[in-house]
Structures are given as C-alpha cells and as structure tokens.
Structure 1
C-alpha cells in the first residue's frame, strides 16, 4: 500500500507540474499560467510591433520588469487603463517552457513593463472610475443620467446631506416663512460645543443668534455642521433638539415628494448618530444618512434649478464672517489644484466622514453644452475622478 501511495503522489506532482508550466506556448491557459517571482526567466527574443492599444482582460495579471523578478504593477490596480504595446518578447522559464509577453506602457508613460499576452485584450480601455463606489453624471437640462456606476445603491453621504437642508431653507424663504435677515437662535450649548470641536467644528457660535444668510453661507461654504443643524431647527419652527428631529422628518418627506426611493435621512448635517450623540443631537435609528448617487444628483438638480442663486454662493472660494474665515474645499474652483477652465465648475458640495469617505457633488457647464451634475461617493480621488467624468461626458457629447 505504501508503494502505491508513493506512486500516486509522484504522478500527481508530475501532473501538477505539467499543468502549472504548460507544454510550450500552445498548452498555456490564463488559469494555469502561474507567474511566480521565484521562477527564473530569460529573454529569448524580442520583436518590434506596431504600437497598439490593449486593456486588461480580467482582474488577474501582473506587469513585470524585463527580468521578470519584480512586479511593477497589477492589472487589477489599473482597471480602466489603456496599455500601449510596442514589442513582443519571448520569455523562457527555467523549466524550459516559453511564453509570449508584450512590452507595454500606460498612456501617461508613468508605468511600463512586460505582461503575458493572454492577460490583455485589444482596444482602448472603457471609461470608468477606479475609486468611486457610487457615481453618476446627470444632464440638468434633460434630467437624463448619461453615465453611472452603482448609482442606485444607498451609501453614507456625509456633508453632501446639507444640500437637502439648504434646499428646505430656500423653500421656507420662498414660501414666505422667513427671510435671509431672519434671526436664528444659536444659544444651544450642544451646538456651541459642536462648533468648537476639533473634528466636527469649523464655524464657532460666538453669538446667541445669527441671520439665516450667515448660517446658510457657513453651512454651504465652510460646511459647518452646527450651522446646518441650527438652520434645520429654524425651518422646523424652533430652536431645540426636538425641532431637529422634526426637521429630519421634513427632509425625508421632501425626498418622498420627489420619489427618491433610495434616500433616508437621520441627520441635518450629515454627521453620523454616534458622532452627534455627545452634542445632544442623535435622534436614534440608523447611524447615517443613506442616499444613492442618483438620488443625490436629483437633490442637487432641484436645488440649482429651483434656487439658482446657490451657484453664486457655492463658487465663493473663501470669505470672512463674524471674524472667522469660511473656506470652500471644492478644489475644482478657479485657482485650486484641480481647476480646469473649460469645465466652468461653479459648485457644489464636498463631504467627508469615516463611514462615507470622500464625497463630492460637482456642477458646471462647458460652452456649447448642457449643464451637468456629477456625484462621486466614497472616492479617495474625488476631484480627479470628477474632472475625468466631466471631461468624458463632454468629449463624448453626452450633454
């Protein structure tokens, strides 16, 4: 019995070796082509080829250096990259088997190396956003979604939530319930504590009342959480946490009136319940506002179409208010790092919490095109990906 077991084990090892390394070039398949840095390779030959575009065939595959000893990149890490091949190279393993690789470089010329040819497929890569977990591009004029990624999945949206709060402020004024000069009670100790907080603060309540206009600008430009909550209470008709809860109900009612099926609010500011609790403004229930990218785009569209003056305020880079500086973190505005003149970005709202990640709602109108709204949720490169999305929409004449 021991001899038979040894014989079977030897056969299995032999088969496994054959499957792993293949027999010449014809036997290899994508699933059996194992690229291990411990296996030695040598370059047998290279042949120049007409420069041609390729992109990843699947999430597997590695870009190697010429000696096949170092991983330069993984194809999974470049899901929407077009690789340009200029050479065919035949590499031989220490086992004797050979494989055809392409020498490739990305369009920017920042990453180059050798990729097994079967990991690539001919043609330019389709457009996509690498980091955003949810995204959408909306034509404001037609109200048509022109590009999306997981757009109907509800996600935490952090301070992007303030777009709904600001809408309801504008709505109350429009309906004659108050004015920009109306006074808002800001004496609540919890709100004052929140304004001074090193993590969630930004605009300190040094007075017991501010005008609606002052708090509106603080919430929009500086993304002040305490300003947003105070405004919500004012809209709801009071100045205590009980009116905050009433206002959140108003937010949800407004979303329902717009038939937003993937929207649920528990916070006027976008802060999560566990973060609001120390300041006395947790209302219980779910921890975070959960809104899909598509629904965020609809909220933004209602805001800028019903109350277009928001764009003038949203394009303010910074300003002083009550001896404090309000700073707009929209880095697509003029003079900022990711500004692109042709996109004419003039809004709209940034957001960040740990659960939500970086979120951004952008809007602009390129000359000769419709205005668009873009939304990216949980996106670590929210400005570069927003700019890429806007350029894609306009370059493809989708809006």
Structure 2
C-alpha cells in the first residue's frame, strides 16, 4: 500500500509566456446560440444552447451527414440515380421541383439539399436510406444516430425540418453535428461553399445558395440556413481565417437581414477578440510526479500532443494553471501512460484539461527499493510526529 494518496496541485502561471485573460462578452440577438472554436476545442458562447428548439432546415444537416456516411461505406454510390416518390414530390417550400418521372443522381440530390435546401431532395435521400423505405423510418434512424454521436437534445420526425410536433434540435447539437461534418468528410465539405446549383435549368430563380455569409469575404465556407414561422431565421455557419476555424449556430432572428448582420458580427468577434497561442510541443515536460515502489523516485509528466490555447486579446491578466495527479504513482509505469492533467482556467472561457503522460518507463523497484520503502512507511507511522506515536504521560 502506498504511504499516502493525494492530489498534487502546482501553480503554473510562470510556465506560460502569455497573459491575456479577458474578452468582452458577445451579446447576441438570437434566442439561442452556440459559438465554438474548432481549432482549439473552445466554446466561446452558449446561450440556451442545450434547449431543444424547432431547427427548420438546419436539421437537413443530419440527413446530409447520414448520406455522406452511406456514400463513404458503399451503401450509396455518388452517381446512383434515385427515384422520386409521390411523397417526396408533394413537398412545397424550398424545392428542387422534382416530380415522379425524375431519377436523380445522389450527388445532385446532395447539392439540391445543401445549396437550394430542397425538401423534396431530402425526402428522396431519406426514403433510399430508410430501413422501411419511409421518411418516418429514416427519421427514427436519424434520432438513433444522433444519440450515438452525443447529440442528446435532438429528436427527428422528418428529414427536412418541415414543421412538425416534436421535431427538435439544440444549438449545441447542431454545433456537434457541424464539427463532425467538417472533420469526418473533408472531401464532401466543399459542397457547402457552392454558390449556385442550376439543376437541369429547371428553375433558374431557385438556384442560389441562401447562406448570406458565403459572399462576405470573411472566410465563411458553410453551412445551412433555416427559417419557419415557429423557428424564426437561423443559420449554422463556419468560417476559417489564418488556420483557425470557428463554428456558430444561431436561431430565432426576425429577418434575413438580421440573420446576415448577426452572423457577420459573430465571425468578426470570434476572430478579433481571441487569438490562438501555441503553448507546448508534444513531449514538453510540464512537471514531475512522485513514484511509489519504482526504480526511480519521480517520473516526468509531459503533454502527449502539441497544444495551443485560445486566449482573449484584451485586458492583461494571469492564466491560472495547475498540474493535478493522484500521487505518489505506483510503479510499474509505461511511457505514454496518462498520469494526470494540466488544468487551465481563463476568464470568460471554459476550463481546459490537457492530458499529461509519463515521459519514460519506470520499472518496479527491486529488493533495495522495497527495503527503503518499508523503512519510509515505518518512519511515517512510528517516527517523531508519526500518526501512531505514543503520547507521553503527563
């Protein structure tokens, strides 16, 4: 048994060469919002972000994600032609204006959903991937898949976001989904930046991308607008500047113009008020930890990967950081084994926890080590000030 167990905490303010620690909070007009710096895994703002709300066409992103998955694993071919059912052709609103005589390539259907927000195209894809051939069956599959992806505040009733009781997503869930779309399908992701999709020359007036930030010169390259009377105007957006990517989700705005202006403000705020700072390269030693019963008394704790922080650029202040581990750590220890965490706190931003791993192998000590350890335990137990020291009589 180890002689003692504890959590060791070390102030590491001096370790960092950066000191900004404050940024002005962003006041959004959206009823719910979620802003996430994907590059540094930092949530910049969450307003009613976990509340399930009507997502309108923004929920088409789940249909798109599941179609990308089906193409990637071979269940659908990107050039496969799909039939259009009477159910799919019956939808109004945003549309590719498909009819039951059409057979449409999967790639064109994806563009129809992404660029022109086609409700009919969404249903065609849903029925093709549904376990029972119905849109309702696909919606149940969407909900199950969302749960698997950690989207616990999403329930789908249809594939398009058409207003329906119980069809809900949270803004955080839409952020999680967007993160996965960008990370999991980099080959397909450029589809979201396409400005025009004149399918078959059928309806030229309905061929433009509705996403207003794509043409603002702010580095925006996706993703999806949404609007119903119940939901208001919303947008799932992403922008990349100087290697940093920001994802944002907003809903409940009053007009297209307000949605566009709010989106631009968010992008400017996220990139101008925060800066990415490289903190440590992989293998950098942050601290040392005591070892119990090892052939060395300590082991170096290092970061396993390069890591950087997103820090506010205004109002200088200290960064609070500490190493946390349960020690002493019992040998044997394997290089790369996670032993603790570097915990970093910045004003206005969530706590960051960076895994710390063993720098080297530490073998279990031999007879001499065990003898020294036994002597240490006896000294702590019975030596001067020991817990079991017998008190003298008065």
TM superposition score normalised by structure 1: 0.59
User: Equivalent residue of 2:191, what SS?
Assistant: helix
Matched residue, 1:291:
169
Structure 2 unaligned spans of 5+ = 1-22, 276-309, 311-394
Structure 1 unaligned spans of 5+ = 1-123, 274-286
Whole-angstrom CA distance in 2 between matches of 1:363 and 1:246: 30
Count of matched residue pairs: 247
- CA gap of 1:344–1:125, structure 2 versus 1, over 3 A, is closer
TM-superposed deviation, 1:392:
1.1
- CA gap of 1:167–1:383, structure 2 versus 1, over 3 A, is same
Matched residue, 1:260:
151
- CA gap of 1:288–1:323, structure 2 versus 1, over 3 A, is farther
Which of the residues 49, 52, 67 maps onto 1:154?
Answer: 52
Matched residue, 1:133:
31
Matched residue, 2:185:
307
TM-superposed deviation, 1:202:
2.3
1:217 aligns with 2:111: yes
Whole-angstrom CA distance in 2 between matches of 1:230 and 1:238: 13
Matched residue, 2:211:
330
Which of the residues 123, 141, 165 maps onto 1:250?
Answer: 141
Which of the residues 217, 224, 248 maps onto 1:374?
Answer: 248
Whole-angstrom CA distance in 2 between matches of 1:173 and 1:141: 27
TM-superposed deviation, 1:347:
0.6
User: Equivalent residue of 2:161, what SS?
Assistant: coil
- CA gap of 1:258–1:201, structure 2 versus 1, over 3 A, is closer
TM-superposed deviation, 1:126:
4.5
User: Equivalent residue of 1:210, what SS?
Assistant: strand
Q: Is the 8 A contact 2:95 2:121 kept in 1?
A: no
Q: Is the 8 A contact 2:123 2:135 kept in 1?
A: yes
Matched residue, 2:128:
234
Whole-angstrom CA distance in 2 between matches of 1:308 and 1:218: 19
TM-superposed deviation, 1:290:
1.1
TM-superposed deviation, 1:300:
0.9
Matched residue, 2:261:
384
TM-superposed deviation, 1:190:
2.8
Residues 365-384 of structure 1 show CA distances to partners (whole Å, capped at 9, x for unaligned) of: 112x4211110011222221
Matched residue, 1:63:
none
Residues 5-37 of structure 1 show CA distances to partners (whole Å, capped at 9, x for unaligned) of: xxxxxxxxxxxxxxxxxxxxxxxxxxxxxxxxx
Which of the residues 83, 89, 95 maps onto 1:202?
Answer: 95
Whole-angstrom CA distance in 1 between matches of 2:222 and 2:159: 20
Q: Is the 8 A contact 1:267 1:288 kept in 2?
A: no
CA RMSD of superposed structures (Å): 1.8
- CA gap of 1:319–1:260, structure 2 versus 1, over 3 A, is closer
Residues 254-307 of structure 1 show CA distances to partners (whole Å, capped at 9, x for unaligned) of: 11111222111111000023xxxxxxxxxxxxx142111111100111111111
Whole-angstrom CA distance in 1 between matches of 2:166 and 2:115: 22
Segments of 4+ moved more than 6 angstroms: none
Which runs of structure 2 are paired with 1:37-56 in the superposition (5 Å)? none
1:365 aligns with 2:258: no
Residues 132-166 of structure 1 show CA distances to partners (whole Å, capped at 9, x for unaligned) of: 01001112223331212111111111000010000
